[in-house]
Amino acid sequence: MTKSVLYMSMSLDGYIAGSNDNPGNPGGDDFMRLHEWYGFEGTPPNTKGTGWGARFMDEGHATGAVLAGRRTVEQVDHWGGDHHGVPIFVVSHRPPDPSAAKYSLVTYVTDGIESAMAQAKAAAKGKDVMVHGAYTAQRALEAGVLDELQVHQIPVLFGAGRRLFDTLPSRIELEIVRVIDTPDATHIRYRVIKG
């Protein structure tokens, strides 16, 4: 069964982006500190990791579609239209900028998170859907369409920036599915308890 899974590196104090997060500075100041544990070779997302980073990179690249918010995709120019070769669904309240038309794998969905997730799951053809972005994750949790969270907890306190769970409408219960503790990060997989 296809699951929707949020993949996110996060500081201990809950930040997924540093200060000054804007199109000219995607992820904000010191953003790569949250991703050093991957041991990147190349340019994300079509890159290779080393050690535990390679394991999680392979897991993420086994997904069949990506669902992200407009802010996330526009800051990285839609990953050049290629996030590990799978369809990219963008949740937005308005139609895309004409520049997005050059990316054949990118589809903007303007009729809500539920519709976007349904389209992403159908396109994933039995594989999981990778979810990116704090706002998108919050809306997916609120709508009950996010199934799991893979949080890479980084041993750093950012003190400022963009938080992953800044605003949620109510309490959401989670079940810990897996914990992998490494020197560079603690990798925690949660299942969202629904209903």
Looking at the structure of the chain, the number of domains it has is: 1
The model's pTM is: 0.88
Q: Rounded distance, CA 43 to CA 167, Å?
A: 31
Q: What is the residue-level pLDDT of the chain in tens, covering all 195 positions?
A: 899 999 999 999 999 999 988 888 888 898 889 988 877 655 555 555 567 677 777 777 789 999 999 988 888 888 788 888 899 999 999 888 888 889 899 999 999 999 999 999 999 999 999 999 999 999 999 999 999 999 999 999 999 999 999 888 889 999 999 999 988 999 999 999 987
| Residue 84, strand partner residues | none
Q: Are 10 and 164 in contact (CB under 8 A)?
A: yes
Its domain, for residue 142, covers 4-192
Output DSSP code: residue 83: B
Q: Rounded distance, CA 77 to CA 173, Å?
A: 34
Q: How far is CA 50 from CA 7, 54, 62, 101, 148, in A?
A: 18, 5, 17, 34, 24
| pLDDT of res. 99 | 83
Residue with tokens 């079509």: 46
In whole angstroms, how large is the CA radius of gyration of the chain?
A: 16
Q: Rounded distance, CA 98 to CA 163, Å?
A: 30
Q: Rounded distance, CA 193 to CA 185, Å?
A: 25
Q: In what order do the strands lie in the sheet with 148-154?
A: 106-109, 88-91, 65-69, 129-132, 4-11, 148-154, 186-192, 174-181
Query: How many other CB atoms are there within 10 angstroms of residue 59's CB atom?
Result: 16
Q: Rounded distance, CA 19 to CA 11, Å?
A: 13
| CATH number, position 151 | 3.40.430.10
